[in-house]
Amino acid sequence: MTQPTVLPAWQALDDHRLEIADSHMRDWFAQDSDRFQHFSLKVAGILFDYSKNRVTDKTMGLLSQLAEQSGLRGRIEAMFNGDKINHTEDRAVLHVALRNRSDRPIWVDGQDVMPQVRQVLDKMRQFTDLIRSRKWLGYSGQAITDVVNIGIGGSDLGPRMVTRALTPYHKDDLRIHYVANVDEADLIETLKGLNQETTLFLVASKTFTTQETMANARSARDWLLAGVGGEERAIARHFVAISTNRHAVQAFGIDPDNMFEFWDWVGGRYSLWSAVGLSIALAVGMDGFEELLHGAFEVDEHFRTTPFSRNVPVIMGLLGIWYTNFLGAMSHAILPYHQYLRHFPEHLQQLDMESNGKSVDLDGCRVGYQTGPVIWGQPGTNGQHSFFQLLHQGTHLVPCDFLASVQSHHQLGEHHQILLANCLAQAEALMRGRTMDEAREELADLDLPEERLALLAASKTFPGNRPSNMFLFERLTPKILGSLIALYEHKVFVQGAIWNINSFDQMGVELGKQLARSILPELEGAEVGQHDASTRALIEFCRDWERCSAGKTT
């Protein structure tokens, strides 16, 4: 396959970068009163404004050519057709099948997977209806009041983010909790105040062997049994599994009828759309969950059928290529001006960095260009009092995404208008900056020595020309949230396709897991094996500390 750097459009973009190096967005807006109309689009109830980017019509034209020359159109079709585009693991990539709301079949190995998808959705609906109607009773005959989702990575971050984002749609008498970290504090603090007789655990692990998840699940089982007199029959009324390993699920004590399946073509970071989203469905109801799916489906159809020049996720991906590969940006900030979206940056960290944090291309060759940026951020206005100083006046170029709703779910004084005003103002300030003359004009009424005035003016000057995208929507609903997530999923796909990398494996995390399996028995007293001097010393240090602590205890 072709390295992107040898494509004609890549070479042209490199030349174009020099053409506009000294241009400023402030001037472009002054010269073109219709710039917003030229560089904004609407999709699935979301306004996407990308006019505050360091791009011209020529830039966008060249980026579209890069997408065409990279074979993006064919790669999109390959994904939707069920081709095994995850080459290293020989798997299809079909999160789009999970939210396919049409009658169109989707094929994997000659089989239409849609009947299986619909069957699992039906099973989820039956189960959530039982829990939410209080007809599912625990071992002692009481209804469920608390649900604890035990998973990690994609089995935690996506469902946790969506559940928290859709808080206004929750059922009042059913609380949803999440446990991911193998640090026992996560489980212990979550279980405080919960009642074994009214708590249901969802254990989400495709193989039912994930170390962190199963350690938490076993401890949760011990906690349950301690509260029901050790009666193991209680497990079947208080645990369900989201897995493909029926034997391991049954060995744990879970009734296999309460196992929800998903498939190897569902990647972890895309699994919230599958039965892994059961906690979401319990929180907002199955109708709400299917609204989430429908929002994503609308974006899927847009992505699959819309020309690149008007295709929102394609444009999002191409802008990222522009900043990462041509303007030297190393990170990207996600700034939701929406408290319910506080976990959105965390979810996108996994989605983007686990997907495109790669240095080997599809041919197994080392890449000679930057791939995935560092993704970070937090909700506004908190971030304005934390890291926005660096965004405005720092030496790093950090493209930003602002997300906001025009209306709030609540009405409390001027809170939402203040929030929205700050969101719009920060994006404008990043673009405009402040010149030395403007800074001096602001200080004109101060009676200060010239030396002091010059220092203050220099400190209040910043360059602007800092790029951002704005995502505005009327209100954060399940449908809108589904659309937002799908936009970013397809953006990541676009960038991976152009970088010629596999966005759907995560081999980089495996070595650490393998080493942890060998270190664990060594920490517990086994002979220390082959490690570097630092790791050996750290193992011995931990063992000595444990021995000393044990001695003090006795």
pLDDT reported for residue 553: 52
DSSP string across 517-554: HHHHHHHTTSPP-S--HHHHHHHHHHHHHHHHHHHHH-
Give the residue-averaged pLDDT of 134-149. Answer: 97
Place 69 in a pLDDT band, splitting at 50, 70 and 90: very high
Place 545 in a pLDDT band, splitting at 50, 70 and 90: confident
Query: 10 Å Cβ neighbour count for 38?
Result: 12
Q: Give the H or E element holding residue 282.
A: helix 278-305
Domain boundaries of the chain, sorted by first residue? 4-89+293-432+466-505, 114-262, 511-553
CA neighbor of 318 nearest in space, from 20, 13, 3, 8: 13
The dotted CATH code for 114-262 is 3.40.50.10490
pLDDT reported for residue 547: 75
Which residues make Cβ contacts (< 8 Å) with residue 119, sequence separation at least 6? none
pLDDT tens by residue, 9-24: 999 999 999 999 999 9
Place 239 in a pLDDT band, splitting at 50, 70 and 90: very high
pLDDT reported for residue 2: 75
Active-site residue, selected from the candidate residues 385, 451, 524, 552: 385
- The question of whether 474 is a catalytic residue gets the answer no
Residue 355 has pLDDT above 80, yes or no: yes
CATH topology for 4-89+293-432+466-505 is Rossmann fold (3.40.50)
Residue 198 has pLDDT above 90, yes or no: yes
Give CA–CA dist 374/361, Å, rounded: 19
Give the residue-averaged pLDDT of 320-331. Answer: 98
At position 198, the amino acid (one-letter code) is T
Phi then psi for residue 466, to 5 deg, are: -95, 125
pLDDT tens by residue, 489-535: 999 999 999 999 999 999 998 899 899 999 999 999 999 999 999 99
Q: Compute the radius of gyration of the chain from its Cα atoms.
A: 26
- Here the tokens at position 52 are 């505050």
Active-site residue, selected from the candidate residues 290, 298, 346, 354: 354
**Do the beta carbons of residue 44 and residue 299 sit within 8 Å?**
yes
Say whether 114-262 and 4-89+293-432+466-505 share the same fold.
yes
Residue 218 has pLDDT above 80, yes or no: yes
DSSP string across 21-89: TT--HHHHHHH-TTHHHHTEEEETTEEEE--SSS--HHHHHHHHHHHHHTTHHHHHHHHHTT---BTTT
pLDDT tens by residue, 397-442: 999 999 999 999 999 999 999 999 999 999 999 999 999 999 999 9
Q: Give the H or E element holding residue 125.
A: helix 114-132
Give the residue-averaged pLDDT of 230-239. Answer: 96
pLDDT tens by residue, 46-58: 999 999 999 999 9
Give the residue-averaged pLDDT of 221-245. Answer: 96
- The question of whether 290 is a catalytic residue gets the answer no
Q: How far is CA 406 from CA 46, 337, 417, 471, 521, in A?
A: 11, 10, 9, 10, 55
Residue 270 has pLDDT above 50, yes or no: yes
Exposed, middle or buried, 547 (CB in 10 Å: 0-12/13-18/19+)? exposed
Place 554 in a pLDDT band, splitting at 50, 70 and 90: very low
CA neighbor of 154 nearest in space, from 402, 379, 401, 352: 352
Active-site residue, selected from the candidate residues 38, 42, 396, 513: 513
Lowest-pLDDT range, 88-92, 350-354, 441-445, 496-500? 441-445
The mean pLDDT value of the chain amounts to 96
The rounded percent of the chain whose pLDDT value lies above 90 is 95
- Here the tokens at position 368 are 């000679």
pLDDT reported for residue 509: 87
Give me the residue label for tokens 């969950």: 289
Give CA–CA dist 535/553, Å, rounded: 27
Kindly provide the residue ranges of all beta strands, DSSP E only, lying in 193-345, ordered along the sequence. 199-204, 239-242, 259-260, 331-336
- The question of whether 38 is a catalytic residue gets the answer no
Give the residue-averaged pLDDT of 456-470. Answer: 97
pLDDT reported for residue 19: 97
pLDDT reported for residue 550: 65
Strand pairing category for 111-112 and 259-260: unpaired
Residue 368 has pLDDT above 60, yes or no: yes
Place 150 in a pLDDT band, splitting at 50, 70 and 90: very high
Give the residue-averaged pLDDT of 356-379. Answer: 97
Give the residue-averaged pLDDT of 439-464. Answer: 93
Residue 167 has pLDDT above 70, yes or no: yes
Give CA–CA dist 544/420, Å, rounded: 55
